[in-house]
Amino acid sequence: MKQQLVEGLDFIYNKEGYIVLTEKYHLERGFCCGNGCINCPYHYERVPEPQKSFLIMNRKKDEQIKK
């Protein structure tokens, strides 16, 4: 039986109203799904190029803005 996801722990809603899975959720799953998830802790290892490079570049930009 699958466990129900908990808002704030496993997912949040973005400003458009879509569910965004948290890093905690991804770590518990244990692998990159290849969908280019925003909070992927696996450096998008299953995402095909050129999308992978694009996502990594955008993440670096976002991290620089937050500093």
DSSP 10-39: TEEE-TTS-EEE-HHHHHHHTS--SS--TT
Distance CA 34, CA 2 (A): 21
Distance CA 8, CA 19 (A): 11
Q: pLDDT class for 62, splitting at 50, 70, 90? A: confident
Distance CA 3, CA 47 (A): 26
Place of tokens 């496993």: 10
Residue 59 belongs to domain spanning:
11-66
Total number of domains constituting the chain: 1
* pLDDT tens sequence across 8-51: 999 999 999 999 999 999 999 999 999 999 999 999 999 999 99
